């Protein structure tokens, strides 16, 4: 039996969580994977695998055969807008009935930042494509802190000052996407913003992680110049590093501090708190602190 839902970005954190949720709800899933070597990450009963190159119409068309609904998430790349436009065009030709795009908070802002502008441009292309669509603008993921915690001296180094952010668990974002893909028509033409249940500073995060790991963790605020140097020293392209710093500047301005009730309204339950997330991933954080995992600074 042909798969009905195509998940792009299938081997990323959102894609993997979404596939698990859809399978748990008895749905047939086709996973679009850029690198065949990563098939093992998601190879499981009920998942059909499709090689998908966002720059290759042939692989996109093959992945879209018999697909009713599409989850659209493209790589973090300079070609992001081009990739999303290409997939939208092929989805329209393939007869896809619903596209759910993952975007970011601030995509509608003007002038915005490099990354919010890219998402805004892709959103607008989808809106005017003629395809039924739903857009979910997500806040910053809690899971990012897994790579922010450092094995050396148990510090979190970020250029955040006292910024408050309503971090959201990747799993909650995936649940919301799954619900919308399954419900379909009632969400056509809608744009939603999803956040966690409370706004927290990096100091708050450090205190929570200290509590759940029984290791003292401190937040160290660093200047943007230092953050840029760190990013470049670990091989981050300049365009990407500067784009990331722009996102941190939005957080310092309070753009990511609001709390949305969308998740609770949609699923009739509260989103996971950072405390719950930290508790469930306590062993991962402990392993990092005990130098069992190499982690980049930011």
- The pLDDT tens digits of the residues spanning 44-57 come to 777 999 999 999 99
> Over the stretch 187-196, which tens digit does the pLDDT of each residue have?
999 999 999 9
Confidence of residue 34 (pLDDT cuts 50, 70, 90): confident
Could you tell me where the DSSP H helices lie in 95-169? 114-127, 145-148
Whether residue 67 is contained in a domain is answered as: yes
Closest CA to 93 of 55, 50, 60: 60
SS3 5: strand
Range of the domain at 52: 5-140+168-194
> Over the stretch 267-279, which tens digit does the pLDDT of each residue have?
999 999 999 999 9
> Over the stretch 229-267, which tens digit does the pLDDT of each residue have?
989 998 999 999 999 999 999 999 999 999 999 999 999
> Over the stretch 108-117, which tens digit does the pLDDT of each residue have?
998 889 999 9
Confidence of residue 298 (pLDDT cuts 50, 70, 90): very low
> Over the stretch 58-94, which tens digit does the pLDDT of each residue have?
999 999 999 999 999 998 899 999 999 999 999 999 9
Q: Could you tell me which residues come within 8 angstroms of residue 106 by beta carbon, excluding any fewer than 6 positions away?
A: 112, 113, 116, 137, 250, 255, 256
Buried b (16+ CB within 10 A) or exposed e, 66-84: ebbbbbbbbeeeeebbbbb
Whether the CB-CB separation of 59 and 53 falls below 8 Å is answered with: yes
Whether residue 293 is contained in a domain is answered as: no
CATH code, domain carrying 25: 3.40.50.720
Whether residue 209 is contained in a domain is answered as: no
The H or E element containing residue 50 is: strand 47-51
Number of domains in the chain: 1
């Amino acid at each position: 039996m042909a798969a009905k839902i195509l998940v792009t970005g299938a081997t990323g954190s959102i894609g993997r969580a979404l596939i698990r949720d859809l399978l748990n709800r008895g749905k047939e899933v086709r996973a679009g994977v850029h690198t065949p070597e990563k098939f093992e990450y998601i190879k499981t009963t009920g998942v059909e695998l499709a090689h998908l190159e966002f720059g290759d119409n042939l692989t996109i068309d093959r992945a879209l055969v018999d697909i009713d609904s599409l989850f659209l998430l493209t790589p973090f790349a300079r070609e992001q807008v081009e990739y999303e436009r290409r997939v939208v065009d092929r989805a329209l030709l393939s007869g896809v009935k619903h596209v759910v795009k993952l975007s970011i908070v601030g995509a509608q802002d003007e002038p915005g930042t490099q990354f919010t502008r890219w998402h805004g441009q892709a959103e607008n292309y989808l809106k005017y494509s003629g395809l039924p669509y739903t857009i979910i603008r997500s806040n910053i993921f809690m899971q990012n802190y897994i790579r922010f915690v450092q094995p050396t001296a148990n510090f979190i180094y970020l250029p955040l000052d006292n910024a408050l952010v309503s971090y959201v668990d990747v799993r909650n974002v995936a649940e919301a996407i799954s619900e919308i893909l399954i419900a379909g028509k009632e969400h056509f033409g809608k744009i939603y913003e999803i956040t966690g249940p409370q706004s927290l500073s990096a100091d708050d995060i450090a205190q929570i992680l200290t509590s759940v790991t029984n290791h003292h963790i401190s937040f160290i605020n660093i200047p943007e110049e230092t953050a840029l140097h760190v990013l470049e020293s670990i091989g981050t392209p300049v365009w990407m590093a500067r784009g990331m710093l722009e996102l941190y500047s939005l957080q310092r301005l309070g753009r990511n501090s609001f709390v949305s009730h969308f998740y609770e309204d949609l699923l009739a339950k509260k989103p996971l708190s950072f405390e719950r997330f930290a508790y469930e991933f306590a062993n991962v954080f402990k392993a990092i602190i005990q130098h069992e995992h190499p982690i980049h600074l930011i």
